[in-house]
């Protein structure tokens, strides 16, 4: 574990580090104070002279109306040729590729008028595919959105019980259906990626890519040293052994708040790890997912990813997976 790969969480600090941290905090406080007063002055200036100028036509001044951010979309690569039906559904924005396999097995998918129950059934863009009686087609425009999820929202597009879903926060997204990459519990907050790119969703959800996730965990009581060591070495849950990639206290003076880095996508895995040692998780906030953070995105707000971010996601851990596959192939040859 290195400080660089684990953000602000660290296990212990030397006296020199504490002094430097104190100096930096004072420096930041001064900068924040100066920024606050500068902002106030700028607001006062903007309210007085600009309003006056906007009323004077002969000044040639025209007040510009604020417009919402334009959607940033990306062209999908050529999808001609055959592909598995579950992949086709994902490309159409119905759901993720993994979820599409379950949808197909329910018998609600028709291909050229016939019910198909096999996720691997080959189709092309010339076939007529319907889901629950609605014709679908491959989405040519791809969109990628980062949401800072608040509490009390379900990570689904619809909820039979009428509870609030993350799609209630996505008003203003002028695109075809999008869906979340993975899930966050109702009371878990933080970084959530939404897209209509089924191929990327499949990649980021697959364990082999070891997508990094960092959470800030607030416990009901301080995490004791012996339990810290147990957790760091790994614990055995009902669905198998699990160990974090990194673990640390956010603040040595408040050991109720812990940072944990993990790449497992198992259900409620972070909560279950702490619960197995007798701790109740009072708050769980995902601060990083696949190198994406919630910086400059307020709780309950969202933004489009830029081209650089999308490119990094598509090549995330690609060399690692390739090396892993080459190692497996070499081992098979040796056998």
Catalytic residue among 125, 159, 185, 251: 185
Burial class from Cβ neighbours inside 10 Å (0-12, 13-18, 19+) for residue 286 reads: buried
Cβ-based neighbour number of residue 155 at 10 Å: 20
Cβ-based neighbour number of residue 252 at 10 Å: 12
Q: 281-289 and 292-293 as β-strands: parallel, antiparallel, unpaired?
A: antiparallel
Furthest-apart CA atoms within the chain: distance in Å: 86
Closest by CA to 264, choosing from 274, 273, 253, 255, is 273
C-alpha dihedral, 105 to 107 to 109 to 111, nearest 10°: 100
> Helix or strand or coil: residue 237?
strand
Q: Are 61 and 146 in contact (CB under 8 A)?
A: no
Cβ-based neighbour number of residue 150 at 10 Å: 16
CA distances, 150 to each of 159, 201, 237, 282 (Å): 17, 22, 28, 14
Q: Are 125 and 138 in contact (CB under 8 A)?
A: yes
127 is catalytic: no
Question: Which residues does the annotation mark as catalytic?
Answer: 185
């Amino acid at each position: 574990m290195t400080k660089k790969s684990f953000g602000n969480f660290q296990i212990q600090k030397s006296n020199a580090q504490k002094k430097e941290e104190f100096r930096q905090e004072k420096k930041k406080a001064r900068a924040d104070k100066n920024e606050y007063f500068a902002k106030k002055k700028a607001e006062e200036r903007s309210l007085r002279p600009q309003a006056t100028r906007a009323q004077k036509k002969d000044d040639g001044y025209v007040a510009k109306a604020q417009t919402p951010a334009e959607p940033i979309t990306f062209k999908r690569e050529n999808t001609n040729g055959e592909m598995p039906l579950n992949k086709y559904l994902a490309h159409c924005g119905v759901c993720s590729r993994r979820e599409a396999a379950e949808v197909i097995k329910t018998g609600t998918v028709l291909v050229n008028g016939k019910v198909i129950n096999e996720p691997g059934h080959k189709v092309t863009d010339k076939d007529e595919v319907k889901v629950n009686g609605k014709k679908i087609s491959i989405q040519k425009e791809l969109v990628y959105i980062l949401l800072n999820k608040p509490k009390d929202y379900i990570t689904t597009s619809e909820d039979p019980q009428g509870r609030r879903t993350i799609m209630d926060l996505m008003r203003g997204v002028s695109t075809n259906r999008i869906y979340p990459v993975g899930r966050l519990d109702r009371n878990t907050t933080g970084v959530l990626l939404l897209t209509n790119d089924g191929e990327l969703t499949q990649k980021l959800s697959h364990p082999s890519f070891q997508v990094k996730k960092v959470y800030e965990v607030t416990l009901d009581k301080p995490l004791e040293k012996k339990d810290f060591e147990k957790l760091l070495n790994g614990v055995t849950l009902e669905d198998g052994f699990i160990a974090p990639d990194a673990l640390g206290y956010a603040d040595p003076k408040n050991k109720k708040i812990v940072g944990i880095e993990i790449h497992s996508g198992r259900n409620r895995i972070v909560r279950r790890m702490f619960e197995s040692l007798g701790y109740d998780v009072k708050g769980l906030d995902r601060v990083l997912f696949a190198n994406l953070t919630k910086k400059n995105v307020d709780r309950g707000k969202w933004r489009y990813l830029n081209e650089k971010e999308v490119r990094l996601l598509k090549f995330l851990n690609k060399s690692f997976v390739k090396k892993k596959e080459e190692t497996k192939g070499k081992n098979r040859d040796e056998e």
